[in-house]
């Protein structure tokens, strides 16, 4: 079922069943003034100076559902084929009951791999019974997960920063933002609206960004931001896309929040985030350079037929093909490579970005 039509029915259930409890317990709208908090993990480059990050997104897994077999096979095959140094799942991990068992099962290949990994939750991950906190707690209990507990005063659960360490200090940061699910806006009670990144999350990111910059001799530490729901600014970047750099599949309009969170503007001020990496829109896997030079990057849909997916039109095969996105970093280099890897190993759209 197409996501928009599904949400027409599910949105209000989602708002009252999952968002409200999370706001009252593991998050608030108040900025945290106690400092940036811990870094979730400080990871090293390999001895050869490379670091490979694998991104899964939108597995929409339901255990014991034959429609999910392709998603589980995709995750297992990608881990074996890529042999990454770190894995990030950008959300919509599950898509039905039993939701906690489904999360455990689709994330088990990561847990058994010995590779460190982290998640940032999607809008569907807390709408099938478990609260967002319960889902995040279950995920954090699995081996290899580096996510830290929800931060007091910071909206959402899955906000974390992971750094990549070189011989002279931190060379790169990966910021994970919890883009939550849906929100009811005053005067728009009948309208569906995805949630947006709140000021407390901006404050949390800014504090980490400033500390990393100070520890880096005053220079911003190059970073990538990972979140499930794209930021609004991707829409303007797309309007200008015919004159700009866009590589990959673009079979669906972006579905960001209606609310401009201010996060993009803060990225510009901090001058560290090079790319905003998302999931959410299953029929897109493109890389788009916005007018400011910040890249908008979609992961490759890693799920299967529990939810809409039409990337089989991409010309490789009539068959629907799941996959993942890979990032490769090199010690001492500010740029990075990224490509889409299809299930089975075919590489598409390998790019070197600065």
| Among the residue ranges 84-92, 96-104, 149-157, 285-293, the one whose residues contact Fe ion (CB under 5 A) | 84-92
| Among the residue ranges 86-94, 132-140, 216-224, 265-273, the one whose residues contact Fe ion (CB under 5 A) | 86-94
When CB distances to Fe ion are compared, the closest residue is 92
* Site membership for Fe ion, residue 125 (CB under 5 A): no
Q: Give min distance, CB of 309 to Fe ion, in A.
A: 9
Measured CA distances, 118 to 28, 164, 208, 215 (Å): 22, 14, 18, 24
Q: Give min distance, CB of 19 to Fe ion, in A.
A: 17
Contact assessment for residue 92 and residue 14, using Cβ atoms and an 8 Å cutoff: no
Considering the complex, state which of residue 71 and residue 115 has its C-beta at the smaller distance from Fe ion.
71
Eight-class DSSP state of 98: S
Binding to Fe ion by CB under 5 A, coded x per residue (else -) over 205-234, reads ------------------------------
Q: Give min distance, CB of 288 to Fe ion, in A.
A: 19
Eight-class DSSP state of 55: E
What the block records as the tokens of 225 is 């931001």
* Site membership for Fe ion, residue 281 (CB under 5 A): no
* Site membership for Fe ion, residue 285 (CB under 5 A): no
- Count residues near Fe ion (CB under 5 A): 2
Considering the complex, state which of residue 85 and residue 285 has its C-beta at the smaller distance from Fe ion.
285
User: Mapping DSSP to helix (H, G, I), strand (E, B) and coil, where does residue 8 land?
Assistant: helix
Q: Give min distance, CB of 92 to Fe ion, in A.
A: 3
Q: Give min distance, CB of 247 to Fe ion, in A.
A: 22
Considering the complex, state which of residue 59 and residue 209 has its C-beta at the smaller distance from Fe ion.
59
CA distance 133 to 336: 34
What the block records as the tokens of 68 is 């999910």
Number of residues that this document lists for the chain:
354
User: Mapping DSSP to helix (H, G, I), strand (E, B) and coil, where does residue 87 land?
Assistant: strand
| Among the residue ranges 90-98, 126-134, 245-253, 334-342, the one whose residues contact Fe ion (CB under 5 A) | 90-98
| Among the residue ranges 30-38, 87-95, 192-200, 323-331, the one whose residues contact Fe ion (CB under 5 A) | 87-95
Give DSSP secondary structure letters for 277-321.
Answer: EE-S-TTB--EEE-TTS-EEEEPPP---TTS---GGGGSS-SS--
25 φ, ψ (degrees, to nearest 5)? -120, -65
Contact assessment for residue 335 and residue 328, using Cβ atoms and an 8 Å cutoff: no
* Site membership for Fe ion, residue 58 (CB under 5 A): yes
β-partners of residue 51 are 329
What the block records as the tokens of 129 is 């019974």
Considering the complex, state which of residue 177 and residue 329 has its C-beta at the smaller distance from Fe ion.
177
* Site membership for Fe ion, residue 92 (CB under 5 A): yes
Question: Interface residues with Fe ion (CB under 5 A)?
Answer: 58, 92
């Amino acid at each position: 079922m197409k996501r928009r039509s599904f949400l027409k029915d599910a949105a209000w259930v989602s708002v009252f069943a999952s968002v409200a409890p999370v706001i009252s317990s593991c998050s608030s709208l108040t900025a945290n003034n106690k400092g940036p908090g811990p870094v979730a993990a400080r990871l090293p480059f390999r001895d050869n100076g490379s670091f490979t990050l694998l991104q899964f997104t939108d597995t929409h897994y339901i255990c014991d559902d034959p429609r999910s077999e392709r998603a589980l096979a995709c995750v297992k095959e990608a881990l074996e084929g890529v042999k990454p140094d770190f894995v990030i799942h950008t959300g919509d991990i599950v898509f039905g009951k039993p939701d906690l068992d489904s999360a455990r099962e689709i994330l088990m290949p990561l847990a058994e791999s010995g590779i460190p990994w982290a998640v940032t939750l999607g809008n569907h991950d807390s709408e099938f019974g478990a609260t967002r906190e319960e889902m995040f707690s279950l995920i954090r209990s699995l081996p290899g997960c580096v996510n830290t507990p929800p931060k007091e005063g910071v909206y959402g659960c899955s906000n974390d920063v992971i750094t990549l360490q070189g011989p002279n200090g931190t060379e790169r940061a990966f910021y994970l933002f919890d883009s939550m699910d849906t929100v009811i806006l005053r005067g728009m009670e009948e309208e569906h609206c995805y949630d947006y990144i709140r000021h407390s999350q901006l404050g949390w990111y800014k504090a980490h960004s400033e500390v990393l910059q100070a520890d880096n001799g005053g220079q911003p530490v190059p970073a990538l931001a990972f979140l499930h729901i794209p930021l609004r600014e991707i829409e303007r970047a797309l309007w200008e896309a015919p004159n700009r750099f866009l590589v990959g599949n673009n079979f669906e309009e972006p579905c960001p929040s209606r609310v401009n969170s201010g996060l993009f503007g803060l990225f510009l001020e901090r001058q560290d985030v090079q790319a905003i990496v998302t999931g959410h829109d299953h029929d897109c896997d493109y890389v788009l350079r916005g007018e400011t030079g910040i890249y908008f990057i979609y992961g490759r849909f890693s799920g299967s037929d529990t939810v809409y997916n039409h990337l089989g039109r991409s010309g490789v095969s009539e068959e629907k093909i799941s996959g993942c996105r890979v990032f490769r970093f090199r010690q001492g280099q500010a740029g990075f490579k990224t490509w889409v890897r299809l299930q089975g190993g075919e590489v598409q759209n390998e790019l070197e970005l600065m």
